[in-house]
Structure 1
């Protein structure tokens, strides 16, 4: 069974089950459905708003903490750069590092008591700086612990080689430990003290390598919130070097329960370096985190604050459960109230239903009394009226049957009268032919055709062929009056004769031309003609009925248009003095125009054009429709 068919079967079963429920049950269900929809929408909107608010507050709070930590780091960067610059610009230091000869004892004492003391003060004045070290490329220089060393102690370190490539520019290097250059505690394992180092090559003059400056600061001082001892289960900061190596506290770390967290942070850092995009949301082991990031462009590093959403999600879940509980309680309360009220409201409806069942079984209707108004009271009132009307209709049934029989007899009588008239005309026509009066015979034939066409009203539509034949009969009958007959000219292609037209729509227009195209008393004029031409334009049929009469003046044409297109004709008298044809009010043309618009639409109808003293043309627009009713395109 297809899914569509199965769905249709289930829907039909539900409709059947639902239709058998009581009105009270359906009303209660409708109330629940009407209330449940808005409640769900409001709850969903509220839940999303609360969720977004909690997340936004968490982002704002931890972004502020991140910016404060960034400000502290920038201050430490400035202090390290200032210390390096002070040592680099000291001429005595430069001369000491450039010394290729073994200095005398007096020079050493003088350097140690003045310049070395100034170098020591730089570190003393910046207690967060762990080391200020100057490395000399000269083998003759005397090392003065803990500041001046020969560079062969560190020349093989990766950071040393990277600093040489920068040729005097600053290099910031993050290292996992701070080794002892003097190797005084070679038997002890190195302590894990991550640090950041500022390295700069000393070139005097430019391009001539003299040594290296190194300023070290432990990361616990460089970014104290990253290595804080305060237990915080809500957030944890990471600092990442230029190569995305991550540094953070080891205890109470999110990494212990979420081992893939560091990889996710490193991946986002690489993505940010490539296209500048950063995804703030991360989820692992069912735990949700926010990864808030800020770059440290001064040292080519990044600071990331990882915020746990566990507490936030607990608050959101509590709020969600509270909203669901309130919705359920509200729906239960509304259901109980609706059930009680419906039972009270529908009590009268049940009484009315029982009365209707008795009436349907044929029991005598004794009336029903329902107090109060409303729809049920109105329904009971109309039911009483209905029962009284039924009794009245039953009493009138016999009279209606008698009237129907009488109408049938009158119809038969009218048919007999019409046949009598047709037979009489046929007898007169035979007498005219016997007397060799062909004109009278033809006139009677035309008159009989006109009468049959008028009496035979089987529908509103006829073929154009039948309407044209009726017009030809009309012209032949009217020409009996005239010495010089009116010539009827037809310019109609054979296919158009099968078109559908309204019955008696063209004949009134032709009759107007016969009666009013020529002045009264001018019936004996020669060369009088009426021409009917049919054309097609944009899928519609255009019928032009043109006479060569005296035409209309512009004023009379305007008056005639007003009469044809007027919705009403107030003030028109019964004599027809103001409602004639061209010279009257145009009621015949107006009736044809209104019939066309009634049956075909406002886009169709009549239009009259005229040239005073020459001609008048009535244009009739019809849709191109066959008598079968199919629209032609």
Structure 2
């Protein structure tokens, strides 16, 4: 074995000695620097990963324990309310009545004892219902507290409560049924609740009725049904039968359909073995299942935590470590480069020649005396440059052929004048047939086509842009029963100033499409007004519509989208009042073009009054189309 090792080592030493100096330096560099750096990075990454996970568990476990404490308080409220209600002797006697009570007693009961029962619910506003059920068919029901047992005797929990002989039964339900059965529509909406049910035995073993205390789950466990959506965590509560209750909108179960069954399976395993597995993965997503038992009511509270943000932070940390390693390597590489410049003179000459070639200077050849790696590299570099020159010549020749083919293709394309002439011919036919609407529409369309095709520069006169908008409005009014009226308040002197081509039309188009979007209803008196003013050498163009406007929230979201520095990958969903798209892609493009051509001091600003109007303010320098800036 030792002989074999010595032979392998001798072979490696021989092979290593024949390697070039550069190869040996690179290999030594990798072995000395990258090895320890990689080990330190892996250790640091694992430590940080464990820290992030532990922090996520501690934070969400704290929230779970706080919610559990709230639930325990609500349990005590419900138990106290039940104790206060069924311990009243007058209430017990009323439930045991087999005959109709005298009118005086009934009035006295209603004015005193019943008011005390009602006060229990008043002082505990989180309690939804306090109900007492009597088996006596002759007992008078007093809504909404005292009822006959026949109304609930068919409920599954009723028989189960009887079997408990006065012990508490906690029941979770998805609905809150109306005992009076006043309307079937009351059951159309889910109202999850938890009920404390207990048989009333006076004396012991003698059934005189049943008590029920209801609390809606959004009061019983508010974080489980909170309206504040936290995309990183969601609480569940499970009853003794492992049935889960949680919010239905923005739930993790929408994208992870196996989550509920996995929770139920782990709860069952916990009941049997007392062990709980906190980690869960589905569809490439990782979750933490934090569990807290509610032994008093035979239920369980869970906090399901999405690890998406945690993984993003871990990934960010990993990228920082990789970046630090890469930066460190580049630093050492630069140091090695400087040292090689002194040690390897011929290599430096070859490197300088390569830099000159990279900058575009003509390659005139290089002579390296002596052999070795540098001489061989110089030889191959000369061969490479000869090959590159040959390939460049071939590429230029191919590019010339491609340009020639492109010019031939352009000559074969249909001239834009052919389209204009065709529209004119169709227009003449329409006028001959006395179709004035079609003739006018073709005139407007032809004007728009000429304006779009004739793109000789980025700047046009305001007069041309306004004429293009007028053609657009006339064409769009063909579609509407109630046309849009375009009002212009522009002095003739301003019609000669320059604006960016197609800068006003997207704003007007946005108003036409979205300002009066009323879900199918058409509004009369629709107006778009354009005003032009100036101040201190700057031009202000105001485009106002009398549409439904924007709410302050939607206006803020639209401003954020327009002024965002980075490109958004998705548009904001939904629409504001009046139908303006929250994403504002058209307005954003116009704003960016204004800043690109005129500077960051110029651009768009939006103002709106909900239900009345929306105004877009465009600020740009007052410049004649000749390029001379006017005062």
1:87 aligned onto 2:49: no
> Residues 9 and 283 from structure 1, CA distance in 2 versus in 1: closer, same or farther, beyond 3 angstroms?
farther
> Which of residues 39, 63, 66 is equivalent to 2:64?
66
Who is 1:167 aligned against? 165
Q: Select between 98-107 and 338-347 the one with higher mean Cα deviation.
A: 338-347
Superposed, which structure 2 residues align to 1:148-297 within 5 Å? Answer: 148-186=146-184, 188-297=186-295
> Residues 184 and 11 from structure 1, CA distance in 2 versus in 1: closer, same or farther, beyond 3 angstroms?
farther
Local SS of the residue matching 2:314: helix
Q: Distance in 2 between matches of 1:70 and 1:314?
A: 29
Q: Retained in 2: the 8 A contact 1:241–1:302?
A: yes
> Residues 187 and 31 from structure 1, CA distance in 2 versus in 1: closer, same or farther, beyond 3 angstroms?
closer
Deviation at 1:188, TM superposition (A): 5.0
Who is 2:95 aligned against? 97
Local SS of the residue matching 1:295: strand
Who is 2:111 aligned against? 113
Deviation at 1:22, TM superposition (A): 3.1
> Which of residues 131, 134, 147 is equivalent to 2:132?
134
Q: Distance in 1 between matches of 2:22 and 2:188?
A: 84
Q: Retained in 1: the 8 A contact 2:175–2:187?
A: no
Report the count of equivalent residues.
341
Q: Retained in 2: the 8 A contact 1:24–1:343?
A: no
Deviation string 1:351-405 (CA, Å, 9 cap, x unpaired) is xxxxxxxxxxxxxxxxxxxxxxxxxxxxxxxxxxxxxxxxxxxxxxxxxxxxxxx
TM-score, length of structure 2 as denominator length: 0.52
Local SS of the residue matching 1:215: strand
Local SS of the residue matching 2:184: coil
Q: Retained in 2: the 8 A contact 1:32–1:331?
A: no
> Residues 215 and 9 from structure 1, CA distance in 2 versus in 1: closer, same or farther, beyond 3 angstroms?
farther
> Residues 339 and 15 from structure 1, CA distance in 2 versus in 1: closer, same or farther, beyond 3 angstroms?
farther
Q: RMSD over aligned Cα, in angstroms?
A: 2.4
Deviation at 1:343, TM superposition (A): 7.5
Q: Distance in 2 between matches of 1:45 and 1:255?
A: 35
Deviation string 1:556-614 (CA, Å, 9 cap, x unpaired) is xxxxxxxxxxxxxxxxxxxxxxxxxxxxxxxxxxxxxxxxxxxxxxxxxxxxxxxxxxx
Q: Retained in 2: the 8 A contact 1:28–1:339?
A: no
Q: Distance in 2 between matches of 1:168 and 1:69?
A: 29
> Residues 19 and 139 from structure 1, CA distance in 2 versus in 1: closer, same or farther, beyond 3 angstroms?
same
Higher-Rg member (1/2): 1
Who is 1:608 aligned against? none
Give unpaired runs (5+ residues) of structure 1.
1-7, 348-633
Superposed, which structure 2 residues align to 1:433-472 within 5 Å? Answer: none
> Which of residues 279, 296, 299 is equivalent to 2:297?
299
Q: Distance in 1 between matches of 2:140 and 2:291?
A: 46
Q: Distance in 2 between matches of 1:257 and 1:121?
A: 45
Local SS of the residue matching 1:291: strand
Q: Distance in 2 between matches of 1:30 and 1:244?
A: 62
Deviation string 1:411-430 (CA, Å, 9 cap, x unpaired) is xxxxxxxxxxxxxxxxxxxx
Deviation string 1:258-285 (CA, Å, 9 cap, x unpaired) is 1111111111111111111111111111
Local SS of the residue matching 1:307: strand
Q: Distance in 2 between matches of 1:11 and 1:115?
A: 101
Deviation string 1:125-144 (CA, Å, 9 cap, x unpaired) is 10100000001111121111
> Residues 216 and 13 from structure 1, CA distance in 2 versus in 1: closer, same or farther, beyond 3 angstroms?
farther
Local SS of the residue matching 1:114: helix
Q: Distance in 1 between matches of 2:14 and 2:184?
A: 91
Superposed, which structure 2 residues align to 1:533-572 within 5 Å? Answer: none
Q: Distance in 1 between matches of 2:271 and 2:162?
A: 25
1:333 aligned onto 2:317: no
Q: Retained in 1: the 8 A contact 2:289–2:303?
A: yes
Q: Retained in 2: the 8 A contact 1:178–1:191?
A: no
Who is 2:574 aligned against? none
Deviation at 1:190, TM superposition (A): 3.6
Q: Select between 281-290 and 187-196 the one with higher mean Cα deviation.
A: 187-196
Who is 2:141 aligned against? 143
Q: Retained in 2: the 8 A contact 1:134–1:213?
A: yes
> Residues 306 and 11 from structure 1, CA distance in 2 versus in 1: closer, same or farther, beyond 3 angstroms?
farther
Q: Distance in 1 between matches of 2:248 and 2:152?
A: 28
Give unpaired runs (5+ residues) of structure 2.
1-5, 346-631
Who is 1:34 aligned against? 32
Local SS of the residue matching 1:237: strand
